[in-house]
Amino acid sequence: MPELPEVETTRRGLEPHAHGQRITAFRVYERRLRWPVAAGLPRTLAGQRIVATGRRAKYLLLSLESGTLIVHLGMSGNLRVLPADAPRILHDHFDLVLDSGVALRFNDPRRFGSLHFTRGDPQRHRLLAHLAPEPFDSQFDGDYLWRITRRRRVAVKQLLMNSRLVVGVGNIYASEALFRARIRPQRPARSLSRADCARLVRAVRAVLGQAIRAGGTTLRDYLKADGSPGYFRQRLYVYERAARPCRRCGTAVRAITQGQRSSYYCPACQQ
């Protein structure tokens, strides 16, 4: 599933191809995404220039002259840059055709992705208005994490993955950040000290930042029509490494289940 680093990687991959381009046509092949694509959208979008690209949580934002397109990749979606006349493949649902001759093409086998257009401030759109802070926001700091953990008995990993408290920390990154911060995933959130909270915030940012940079590297081939979504590859310390030696100390990595998701940790490095 695309997580925050994949969405940011997608944004960075699109940016040089999209910025400043005019949309010559919006072609919809399948309107039934998570929410139906608005019927009048082709007429609304045609002729508008893309003035900026952005991201909020896992939403991609394309700022146009008269509003903003809000794209969500869902569980399985990707937005690729292709020559506008590239043959369509199964699950291609829409094309934003640009005057440079390329198309931003959305493919999503499971159709949990979505596309909205708003003329107002996108941050006040119903999909974005109530989102928690971004991991890279100054608001998400050690004090914030300390405050929100005080009364919570829930395991720290589940708290990190709660998008009402901080957005964009998925299963892989929660496990990896806790390893870096040397905190066991099952620790009750309220047992964290101020120092633990500060270390964990730094670890979350470091892991996500590294994944974004790694994703940027694989996206050099972004113009290829092979459908490769360009997900990052990086050196994981514990995720999906059950029973294998910890990369730091050699102790066997353990796997446990928390809230139906697998968590991984080193019993020697993490307390």
In the complex, the residues that contact Zn ion under the rule CB under 5 A are: 246, 248-249, 251, 266, 268-269
Q: Active site residue: 12, 56, 58, 105, which one?
A: 58
**To the nearest whole angstrom, how small is the minimum distance from the Cβ of residue 241 to Zn ion?**
11
Residue 261 annotated among the catalytic residues of the structure: yes
- Given the residues 31, 152, 213, 261, select the one marked as catalytic: 261
Whichever of 148 and 269 has its CB closer to Zn ion, that residue is 269
| Residue 221 burial class via C-beta count within 10 angstroms: exposed 0-12, middle 13-18, buried 19 and up | exposed
Q: Work out how close the CB of 205 gets to Zn ion at its nearest, in angstroms, rounded to a whole number.
A: 22
Distances (CA, A) of 21 to 14, 83, 92, 104, 255: 11, 14, 22, 11, 48
Active site residue 58: yes
Q: Which residue's beta carbon is nearest to the bound Zn ion?
A: 246
Burial of 193 (0-12, 13-18, 19+ CB in 10 A): exposed
Residue 267 Cβ, how far from Zn ion at the closest point, in Å? 8
> How far apart (Å, rounded) are the C-alpha atoms in residues 185 and 271?
9
Strands 92-98 and 23-28: antiparallel
Catalytic residue among 3, 6, 8, 176: 3
Nearest to residue 70, comparing CAs of 116, 108, 9?
116
Task: Provide the residue type at 69 as one letter.
Answer: L
Beta carbon nearer to Zn ion, 11 or 180:
180
The nearer residue to Zn ion, 182 or 202, going by C-beta atoms, is 182
CB neighbours of residue 223 within 10 Å: 13
Q: Which is nearer to Zn ion, 84 or 269 (CB)?
A: 269
Report the nearest approach of Zn ion to the CB of residue 239 (Å): 14
Residue 123 or residue 251: which is nearer to Zn ion going by CB? 251
**Pick from 182, 169, 252: nearest CA to 211:** 169
Smallest gap from Cβ 8 to Zn ion, in A, equals: 29
Of 2, 5, 135, 185, the catalytic one is 2
Q: Which two tokens stand for residue 212?
A: 């974004």
Positions marked catalytic: 2-3, 58, 261
